[in-house]
Chains A and B, each alone.
Chain A
Amino acid sequence: MADPVLAARGMTKSFGSNEVLRNIDFEVIAGRNIALCGENGAGKSTLIKLMTGVYTPTAGEVLLDGAPAVFAGPKEAIAAGIAVVHQEFSTISALTVAENVFLEKEPRTRLGLVDRRRLRRDCVDLLRQLGIDLDPDTTLDRLSVAEAQMVEIAKALRSRARVLILDEPTAVLSHREIDHLFRILRDLREQGMGLVYVSHRLDEIFEVCTDICVLKDGDVTSAGPIGDYDHDRVVAAMVGRSLGELFPPKSGPAEGAEAVLSLRGLVAEGGAPPVDLVLRPGEIVGLAGLVGSGRTELALAVFGAARSSGGVELANATYGKRTPGRSLAAGLAMLTEDRKTDGLFPDASVAWNFAASTLGKGARPLALSPQEEERRSRSVVERFKVVVDHVGQPISALSGGNQQKVLIGRLLENAPRVLLLDEPTRGVDVATKAEIYRTLRRLAEEGVAILVISSELIEVVGLCDRVHVMRDGALVAELIGDAITEDGIMAVAAAAGGGAP
């Protein structure tokens, strides 16, 4: 194998007495794409930050072309040709593509004025080189998230880069958009760039990466060419146990259980076809499909957060005028897809976020006393093993997995009979995922009916008793028992006529 462009040798990093990385060897090779996997807290971002000059190592060194290199800061790493695309976008929607790509690096005339002509020309050249087809004069608010991601990549590569590090680049992209991204990444790789791909999503890693390095608790637990791995081996290296152990055994609805929620010709706003669907107590039903197939819209329509027409029966009674408040009072609860914008009050405390469930209709007239708030939230923190210093901490200080646990605990506060969960484990580490799966199965066994929307096929296959596949707003297939397989779902979800990938 060729010599590495960038490497970490014996990299160790401690914060105080807390050793977060131990003696790590990691290599980025020109023309190869290495996946950096690991749970949240495994040390992935720390390793990236050590190699890009954000942190200085406690021990060990960074090698650039085999020679030791010390980056005093991110700017020096960038100057050495190491580009990073962070998970958080840095694009600005009011600016044009060209202004974004060259922000703070605008070509200037001798008088110090921004050279608009050269700005556009440089941008066109760069985009062409990357195979990105975008008008440099379009403002970013006219672009899709995926196109903004392309701009982000172009921005990272505006100065000559030899290494490109992408941190969870697909968190917000649809399948089709991911395909485009992957095409660009393959092109870059073939042009001889060394790529590092940080991701939770195993499907993607297998699709786009050539090598893999798995971190767990600050150690490399496994590394090698991607061809030597399968899903199970990667998960085992990440969490120390195999995939099968992630999911609790399935059980399904009780014999002869009557439907608790029935959709009869429900039409979600936006011209989708009518939908029939039944949920029985005790079962976990998956709603699979591509992004944009109408799964979230359907759940929002049932919950009453989006307009719809047609019939919904809840416990054998017609449930016509649906609003979120009425749904909660009737025992129908929903977990939204994007907890940051639709679930959390990010600046408020854990306790307050939890107590927000008592603000709804049918709730008590007075707010909970702070003591009661704290008592109730403490019990949830204990029950779900939420990792938190104290319940007065702002919820934004918690990891994604712990935030999600608080939200699920909040849902259960009103003892729902039906749960609609939209991407319940998005941005959650594997260990927490396993906990959430066990909690859901336990709830089902207690008689709750659960509908899970998920884009992670492994999850749908491992967790659900029954799966409906959605395409263009319609339920196109129902899979039960052994018929639930990743291939089976994808074959239907991406069939012609649908938004094929």
Chain B
Amino acid sequence: MSDLARAVRFQNVHLAIVGLIAAIFIVGVFSSDRFVTVLNIANVQDQLVALALVALAQTVVILSGGIDLSFAGLLGLLSVLFATFAGSDPETFAAAYIGILALGTAIGALTGGIVALSGIHPLIVTLATSTIMAGAALLHTKQPSGSVPIFFEDIVYARFFGFLPWGTLFVVAAYVLVGFVLWRTRFGIRVYAIGDDERAATISGVPVKLTKVLIYAFSGFIVALAAIYLVGRFGVGDPRAGIGFDLRSITPVIVGGTLLAGGRGGVLGTFLAVILLALLANVLNFLNVSNFYLWIVEGVIIVVAVSLFVARTRP
């Protein structure tokens, strides 16, 4: 295996996903002549940015043996707060931007601290976080409200060569960066170590608690980025912006070959799976298939993907 393959944690399932993406793409080409247009290709990308970001956060959390279900509430709260304070000039915008990133990170760190110190399963802790945040967001505003400066919307909707939004470049950069961190830093090795065997990691001297706090803080940071992006895209803050993102963030992680039990997998699989899911939704749309079928297809993909891994990992 080459160094690059090791660094990106290559698995055969990645080839399978690429194959599926190609197949769906071909179906798309034949389904409509509007499919391969700069407009549609940009559109697909717009739709995957937020999911790609939260799935990236979820990948790292799941690799470490945890799970983060706080995205639904956290996205909503950060979204309305950002839209409230972003104002219309660059100064307030910058302040709100930094403030929201700091708040997301702090809430994540707090969640991680509770997970690390209490011993309560992260599923429970993050579900509680999510509920609290959702309540707080709705207390702040029941309807979508607030705004962002025009220049931010212009950035979100800008396209290089007509089809390449900033969002995509941002997502690619984020995945490359996180992949690099997982491969080339001690923190990255710790994530895998904790996720695979917390007891062995502890007796090997891995600072398990600190690492957990950092992981959930990182997750909160990424979710804040996703919230800011969503506000820019829709022009308002929405307390319900995050609904569904908790479970939807898990799908690409699992489909991409990361083990729910932790310790195995990586960001490349998640990235490919996000593209697969976004493309699938788009093509089904062109085929005039109801969105509800998309849910069924997604569900089937999850079960098939997971049973493939189970078959593979069993002795």
A interface residues with partner B (beta carbon < 8 Å): 86, 88-95, 99, 103-104, 106, 108, 112-114, 116, 137, 155
Chain A CB within 10 Å — which of B183, B186, B201, B203 has the most?
A: B186
Known: A103-B189, A104-B204, A114-B189. A92 touches B184 (CB 8 A): no
Measured CA separation A137–B4 after assembly (Å): 13
CA distance A116 to B2 in the complex (A): 13
- A108 to B188, alpha carbons, bound, how many Å? 13
Instruction: For A116, list chain B residues within 8 Å (CB).
Output: 3, 183-184
A-B contact pairs, 24 of them (CB 8 A): A90-B200, A90-B203, A92-B193, A92-B204, A93-B196, A93-B263, A94-B192, A94-B193, A94-B195, A94-B196, A94-B197, A94-B263, A94-B264, A95-B196, A99-B189, A103-B189, A103-B201, A104-B204, A106-B189, A114-B184, A114-B186, A114-B189, A137-B1, A155-B204
Closest beta carbon of chain A to B209's beta carbon, Å = 15
Taking the closest CB of chain A, its distance from the CB of B187, in whole angstroms, is: 10
* B197 x A106 contact (CB < 8 A): no
Chain B residues engaging chain A, CB cutoff 8 angstroms: 1, 3, 6, 183-186, 188-189, 192-193, 195-197, 199-201, 203-206, 263-264
What does DSSP make chain A's interface, helix, strand, loop or mixed?
loop
Contact call A88/B189, Cβ cutoff below 8 A: no
- Do residues A92 and B201 form an inter-chain contact, with CB atoms below 8 A? yes
Let me know if A90 and B264 touch, CB within 8 A: no
Chain A residues with CB below 8 A from B188, complex form: 114
A155 surroundings in chain B (CB, below 8 A): 204
Smallest CB gap from B181: residue in A: A113
B200 touches A104 (CB 8 A): no
CB neighbours of A103 from chain B (8 A): 189, 193, 201, 204-206
Q: Could you tell me if A113 and B193 are in contact, using CB atoms closer than 8 angstroms?
A: no
**Chain A: minimal CB distance from B247 (Å):** 25
Residues of B within 8 A of A92 (CB): 192-193, 196-197, 200-201, 204, 263
| Minimum CB distance partner of B196 in chain A | A94
Residues of B close to A95: CB separation below 8 A: 189, 192-193, 196
Task: Tell me which of A89, A94, A104, A137 contacts B186 (CB under 8 A).
Answer: A104
When distances are taken between beta carbons in the complex, the residues of chain B under 8 Å from A137 are 1, 6
Residue of A88, A93, A94, A99 near B203 (CB, 8 A) is A88
Set of chain A residues within 8 Å of B184, measured between Cβ atoms: 113-114, 116
CA distance A99 to B193 in the complex (A): 9
B199 to chain A: closest residue by CB: A88
B185, A113: Cβ atoms closer than 8 Å = yes
Is there an interface contact between B196 and A114, defined as CB atoms closer than 8 Å? Answer: no
Q: Is the CB of A104 within 8 A of B206?
A: yes
Determine the residue in chain A with the shortest Cβ distance to B3. A116
Q: How far is the CA of A116 from the CA of B6 in the complex (A)?
A: 11
CB distance from B303 to the nearest CB of A (A): 24
Complex: how many Å from CA A264 to CA B184?
60
Could you say which of B185, B188, B189, B205 has the most chain A C-beta atoms within 10 Å of its C-beta?
B189
**Nearest 9 Cβ contacts at the A-B interface:** A94-B196, A94-B263, A104-B205, A113-B184, A90-B203, A90-B204, A103-B204, A90-B200, A92-B197
B193 to chain A: closest residue by CB: A92
Residues of A within 8 A of B195 (CB): 94
Give chain A residues whose Cβ lies under 8 Å from the Cβ of B183.
Answer: 114, 116
A86 contact set on B, CB distance < 8 A: 203
Query: Measured between C-beta atoms, what is the minimum distance from B238 to chain A in Å?
Result: 39
List chain B residues, Cβ under 8 A from A91: 200
Answer whether A108 and B3 are a contact pair too, CB < 8 Å, given A89-B200, A92-B196, A94-B196. Answer: no
CA distance A116 to B184 in the complex (A): 7
Report Cα–Cα, A483/B189, bound state, in Å. Answer: 56
In the complex, how many angstroms separate the beta carbon of B7 from the nearest chain A beta carbon?
8
Name the distance in Å between A296's Cβ and chain B's nearest Cβ.
Answer: 15
Residue in A94, A108, A112, A137 with the greatest tally of chain B CB atoms within 10 Å: A94
Contacting residues, chain B, for A104 (C-beta < 8 A): 186, 204-206
Q: What is the bound-complex CA distance between A104 and B193, given in angstroms?
A: 10
**A113–B185 Cα gap in the complex (Å)?**
5
Q: Which residue of A lies closest to B203 (CB)?
A: A90
Beyond the given A91-B200, A92-B192, A114-B183, please list 4 additional residue pairs across the A-B interface where CB-CB is below 8 A.
A90-B200, A104-B205, A116-B3, A116-B183
**Contact partners of A112 in chain B: CB under 8 A:** 185
